[in-house]
Amino acid sequence: MTSLFDQFEQPSSKPRNNNLTTAEMSTLGYINMTLEQDVPIFSKTKKDFTPSDKITHVAISNKQLAVAMANNMLFRMNLHNPQQHDEISLTKYTTTCRLTNLFMDPTGNHLLLTFAPKSIEGGPELLYLSRKSNKLKSTTKFRGHEFTEVAWNTVNESESTTGPILLGTSKGLIFETEIVLEGDKFFTSGFSSSLEQYWRQVFDIGKGSNTPITGLEFHKVLGSDKYVIFAATPTRLYYFVGRAEHEEKPLLQQVFNRYLNIPEKDTYLEVDSNLRYSRLKFWSENLTIPNCLAWMTEKGITYGQFDSGIDDNMSTLKSRTRLIKYPKPLYEDYSVSQKFPIAITLTEFHILLAYTDTIKGVCLLNEDVVYEDNYNEAFGKLINIVKDASTGEIWAITENAVFRFKVSKEERNVWQIFCENQQFDLAKKYSRGNEASYNQVLIKEAEMLFNKKEYELSAQRYAETQSSFEEICLKFIQVNQQDSLKIFLRRKLDTLKPQDKTQITMIVIWVIELYLSKLEEKRLVGLEQSAAYLDIQKEFEAFLALTEVSDCIKKNKSTIYELMASHGDKSNLIKLTIVNKDFEQLIRHHIYKNSFHEALDVLKGQNKYELYYQFAPILMQEVPKHTVKALIDQGKKLVPVRLLPALVTCEGEFHAKQVITYLEFCIDKLKNTDKAIHNFLLSLYAKHDKEKLMQYLNSQGQELSLVSYDVHFALRLCQDNPNLKEACVQLSGLLGLWESAVELALTDNNLKLAKQLADMPPEEDVELRKKLWLKIAQHVVSGKDDIQQAMEFLQQCDLIRIEDILPFFSDFVTIDHFKEAICNSLKEYNQHIQDLKDEMEEATKSAHLVREDIQSFRNRFTCISSDKICEICNITLMIKPFYMFPCQHRFHTECLMSELQPLLGPAKKNKLADLERQLKILNTQTNVDNVSTGSGMSAREIVKSEIDNIVASECLFCGENMIRNIDKPFIEDDDYDKIAKEWE
Whole-number pLDDT of residue 22: 38
Tens of pLDDT, residues 464-486: 888 888 888 898 888 888 888 88
Angle at 585 between CA 579 and CA 588, to 5 degrees: 140
pTM for the model stands at 0.57
Mention every residue, 6+ apart, whose C-beta is less than 8 A from residue 881: 892, 893, 894
Residues 199 and 980: their CA atoms lie apart, in Å, by: 110
C-beta separation of 225 from 242 below 8 A: no
Q: In this predicted model, which residue has the larger pLDDT, 157 or 577?
A: 157
Whole-number pLDDT of residue 760: 58
Tens of pLDDT, residues 142-157: 888 899 999 999 888 8
C-beta separation of 504 from 548 below 8 A: yes
What is the DSSP-derived secondary structure letter of residue 399? S
Tens of pLDDT, residues 747-770: 655 555 666 555 555 555 555 565
What is the DSSP-derived secondary structure letter of residue 968? S
Sheet (strand 196-204) strand order: 147-151, 165-169, 173-179, 196-204
Whole-number pLDDT of residue 516: 87
Count how many Cα atoms sit within 13 Å of the Cα of residue 55 in the half-sphere of its side chain.
26
* Mean pLDDT for the stretch of residues 942-962: 82
Whole-number pLDDT of residue 309: 75
Q: Lowest mean pLDDT: which of 27-31, 77-81, 289-293, 486-490?
A: 27-31
Whole-number pLDDT of residue 5: 36
Give φ, ψ of 407 to 5 degrees: -105, 120
Residues 912 and 952: their CA atoms lie apart, in Å, by: 12
C-beta separation of 695 from 660 below 8 A: no
Q: In this predicted model, which residue has the larger pLDDT, 403 or 332?
A: 403
Residues 779 and 750: their CA atoms lie apart, in Å, by: 11
Tens of pLDDT, residues 591-616: 877 888 888 888 888 888 888 888 88
Mention every residue, 6+ apart, whose C-beta is less than 8 A from residue 752: none
Name the 3-class secondary structure at 620: helix
Whole-number pLDDT of residue 490: 86
* Mean pLDDT for the stretch of residues 532-560: 84
Q: Where are the alpha helices (DSSP H) in 236-290?
A: 253-257
Tell me the helix, strand and coil percentages in the chain, rounded to 5.
Answer: 45, 20, 35
Q: In the 3-class helix/strand/coil scheme, how is 23-78 assigned residue by residue?
A: HHHHHHCCCCCCCCCCCCCEEEEECCCCCCCCEEEEEEECCEEEEEECCCEEEEEE
Whole-number pLDDT of residue 543: 84
* Mean pLDDT for the stretch of residues 280-297: 87
CB neighbours of residue 846 within 10 Å = 9
Whole-number pLDDT of residue 940: 82
Residues 353 and 472: their CA atoms lie apart, in Å, by: 46
Q: In the 3-class helix/strand/coil scheme, how is 138-197 assigned residue by residue?
A: ECHHHCCCCEEEEECCCCCCCCCECCCEEEEECCCEEEEEEEECECCECCCCCCCCCCEE
Which helix (H) or strand (E) is 746 found in, with range? Answer: helix 738-747
Angle at 236 between CA 233 and CA 241, to 5 degrees: 95
Query: Chain centroid to CA 274: how far?
Result: 72
DSSP string, 879-918: GS-EEE-TTS-EEEHHHHHHHHGGGS-HHHHHHHHHHHHH
Q: In this predicted model, which residue has the larger pLDDT, 860 or 606?
A: 606
Residues 797 and 759: their CA atoms lie apart, in Å, by: 9
Residues 687 and 698: their CA atoms lie apart, in Å, by: 18
Which helix (H) or strand (E) is 321 found in, with range? Answer: strand 321-324
Amino acid at 194: S
Residues 842 and 832: their CA atoms lie apart, in Å, by: 16
* Mean pLDDT for the stretch of residues 835-839: 83
Residues 586 and 866: their CA atoms lie apart, in Å, by: 100
Among 164-168, 726-730, 882-886, name the most confident range: 164-168
Count how many Cα atoms sit within 13 Å of the Cα of residue 186 in the half-sphere of its side chain.
19
C-beta separation of 193 from 140 below 8 A: yes
Residues 754 and 739: their CA atoms lie apart, in Å, by: 10
Whole-number pLDDT of residue 324: 92
* Mean pLDDT for the stretch of residues 430-445: 84
Whole-number pLDDT of residue 776: 61
Mention every residue, 6+ apart, whose C-beta is less than 8 A from residue 353: 296, 301, 326, 327, 341, 344, 359, 360, 361, 362
Per-residue pLDDT for 187 more than 50? no
Tens of pLDDT, residues 896-933: 888 888 778 788 888 888 888 888 888 787 655 555 55
Mention every residue, 6+ apart, whose C-beta is less than 8 A from residue 57: 67, 68, 99, 100, 101, 102, 383, 384
At 339, the pLDDT band (50, 70, 90 cuts) reads confident
Cis preceding linkage at 762, omega within 30:
no
* Mean pLDDT for the stretch of residues 263-268: 83
**Across the chain, what does the average pLDDT equal?**
80
Q: Characterize 894-909 residue by residue with b for buried, 16 or more Cβ atoms within 10 angstroms of its Cβ, and e for exposed.
A: ebbbebbeeebeeeee
Which helix (H) or strand (E) is 204 found in, with range? Answer: strand 196-204
Per-residue pLDDT for 167 more than 90? yes
Whole-number pLDDT of residue 703: 77
Whole-angstrom Cα Rg for the chain: 64
% residues pLDDT > 70 (the chain)? 81
Whole-number pLDDT of residue 376: 81
E strand spans, 720-790: none
Give φ, ψ of 480 to 5 degrees: 55, 45
At 704, the pLDDT band (50, 70, 90 cuts) reads confident
Give the C-alpha distances (Å, rounded to integers) separating 329 from 225, 333, 350, 729, 904. Answer: 47, 9, 18, 130, 129
Whole-number pLDDT of residue 186: 41
Residues 278 and 908: their CA atoms lie apart, in Å, by: 134
Residues 969 and 972: their CA atoms lie apart, in Å, by: 6
DSSP string, 941-966: HHHHHHHHHHHSSS-TTTSHHHHHTT
At 188, the pLDDT band (50, 70, 90 cuts) reads very low
Q: Where are the alpha helices (DSSP H) in 249-384?
A: 253-257, 314-319
Q: Are strands 110-117 and 73-78 parallel, antiparallel or unpaired?
A: unpaired
Tens of pLDDT, residues 621-646: 888 888 889 888 888 888 888 888 88
Mention every residue, 6+ apart, whose C-beta is less than 8 A from residue 832: none
Nearest to 667 by CA among 709, 613, 727: 709
Q: In this predicted model, which residue has the larger pLDDT, 242 or 799?
A: 242
Which helix (H) or strand (E) is 501 found in, with range? Answer: helix 501-524
C-beta separation of 753 from 770 below 8 A: no
At 189, the pLDDT band (50, 70, 90 cuts) reads very low
Provide the residue count of the chain.
984
DSSP string, 99-133: EEEEEE-TTSSEEEEEEEESSTT---EEEEEETT-
* Mean pLDDT for the stretch of residues 38-52: 85
Per-residue pLDDT for 579 more than 80? no
Per-residue pLDDT for 837 more than 60? yes
Q: Are strands 97-104 and 402-407 parallel, antiparallel or unpaired?
A: unpaired
Name the 3-class secondary structure at 396: strand
At 881, the pLDDT band (50, 70, 90 cuts) reads confident
